[in-house]
Each structure stands twice: as structure tokens, then as C-alpha cells.
Amino acid sequence: MKHILITGSTDGIGKLLALHLAKEGHFVAIHGRSDAKLAATLKEIKQQSNNENVIGFLADFSDLNAVKKMAEEVAEKMPVIDVLVNNAGVFKAKIDTAANGVDVRLVVNYLAPYQFTNAVLPLLKKADAPRIVNLSSAAQSPVSLNALQGGISLGANDAYAQSKLALTMWSFYLAKQEPSISVIAVNPGSLLDTKMAKEAYGQHWSPAEKGVDILYDLAMTDSAETGKYFDNDKGNYAQAHPDAYDAKKIEELLSLTNTLV
């Protein structure tokens, strides 16, 4: 039995992955930002999996204080984390700016997982073969350090693509910093049949299961290769955006990120 935490798991591929793992008998922690939805998802997963080892954490990832509190709660309730799947993400939002004045996509998709992961690293280090799977995207564009500080506002598409490149750059950095932990960035597939794709584009290309299957493989099998980017549109490890291999840009990004969180 492994202890697995999946952020953003009250719907979409996060929820489907949680159910799959719970059915296999693992200890699964899910996360959501709506109390009612979290409770309903917990109940559903427990019933469908016949597994009582499913717990939930509530936090709005657009608020870094809430992220910090959740990390403290996780440390109280989980003895160890074998696998962390940073799946929580936002594309279309009712409010474009988070509490700290930064675009909500940059906060939820990058700053929040960065902060959360660093806070729970001690739990990951207790595992025999810890693993972090970060959900990137085929959409990746150069990160504006000005936007990351709330200096300029971005359009939804641009902010989303920047947040996903930032996450990928950090994934590669973390893999080098923490050689005992496997860190993989993955594009689970473009336009999967999920709520996010429907809200953003009103259509989908592939079933959500395509994303669930690759997340399962990278989280649970030996197909995971640390410090790499898996592109599920191509079905193999691929090159991320060139900036993800630029040591100077990564250093600038991480230096600023550290001061922000």
C-alpha cells in the first residue's frame, strides 16, 4: 500500500486517478476547494472502492496562506507521502487576480504547487522511492517575471501557458536538487474530456481516461524518468520549451519564486 496525495481531485482526471488508486487499496488523499464537493467526492470514492483509507483536504490554491495551512494539516494526517501528484489547475476563472495581486493561473498552477511541495518534502523523504508528478501542458510560453510579481496582467491563454512552463522549469530544477525523489513533468494530453477543457474550449479531442492512464503509469510504475517531460500527445518523453533547459532562466525564476512564497 502506498500513500498518495493528488491535488485538484474532486473532478476530472484527478478524481478518476484517485478512484483507480483507492480501488487498488492504496491510502489516497484528495484535495478540493469546495467543502460540499470534497465531501461528496470522498463519499463516492469510499463507496465505489470499498476503501476507508481515503481522506480529504480543503484549500483554495489561489490563496497561498490556505496552501500553507493545508501542508501543515497533511503533515498531521499523513505519516509519509510516496507519491504527490500536483494536478490542481485553473484556466478559466471568475476572478483573474489572486489574493496576492498575481494572475490566478500563475498562483494556482505554479506558486501553489511550488509552495505546497516544498512544505511536504519531509514527508516525501520518508518514503522508500518518493515520486512527484507535476501536470504541465503542451501550452508553454516564456515566463514574465514581472507578471509573476503582479506587475502586469496577462490574458488567460498566456497566463496558463506561462504557468505551465514555470512548473516544468521548476520540475527539472527540483529533480536536480532532490536526487532521492523522482520528479516528472507531464502533459497528460491536450483537450481531454474534462471540465477544464469544456470551460476553456467547449470541446475535447480525447477521453479523460487517456490522461488518467499516463498519470497512473508515471505515478506507480517504473516508466517514470526523473527530470524529464512526458508528452502524452506524442506518447513519449519529449523536449519541453527551450527555456526549461536554460540554467540562467531557471535560476532567475526560482530566485524570484523563493522570495514570493
- Residue 41's CATH number: 3.40.50.720
Q: Cβ distance 166 to 105 under 8 Å?
A: no
221 is in which domain, residue-wise?
3-260
Please report, for residues 125, 140, 142, 230, 250, the alpha-carbon distance to residue 180 in angstroms, rounded to integers and kept in the order given. 8, 27, 29, 20, 21
Residue 141 and residue 168: Cα distance in Å, rounded? 11
pLDDT at position 85: 98
Please report, for residues 66, 134, 170, the alpha-carbon distance to residue 175 in angstroms, rounded to integers and kept in the order given. 26, 11, 8
- Residue-wise pLDDT tens digits, 90-137: 988 888 999 889 999 999 999 999 999 999 999 999 999 999 999 999
Torsion of CA 191, 193, 194, 199, to 10 degrees: 60
- Residue-wise pLDDT tens digits, 24-40: 999 999 999 999 999 99
What is the pTM for the complete model shown? 0.95
What the block records as the C-alpha cell of 248 is 540562467
Residue 166 and residue 181: Cα distance in Å, rounded? 19
pLDDT at position 211: 80
- Residue-wise pLDDT tens digits, 220-237: 999 999 999 999 989 999
pLDDT at position 242: 98
Count of the separate structural domains present in the chain: 1
- Residue-wise pLDDT tens digits, 130-183: 999 999 999 999 999 999 999 998 999 999 999 999 999 999 999 999 999 999
Q: What is the DSSP string of 101-138?
A: SSBHHHIIIIIHHHHHHHHHHHHHTTSSS-EEEEE--S
- Residue-wise pLDDT tens digits, 190-218: 655 556 555 554 555 556 677 889 999 99
Q: How many C-alpha atoms does 42 have within 13 Å on its Cβ side? A: 18
H runs (alpha helix) in the chain: 12-23, 35-49, 64-77, 104-106, 112-124, 145-148, 156-177, 195-201, 208-220, 247-260
Residue 111 and residue 103: Cα distance in Å, rounded? 11
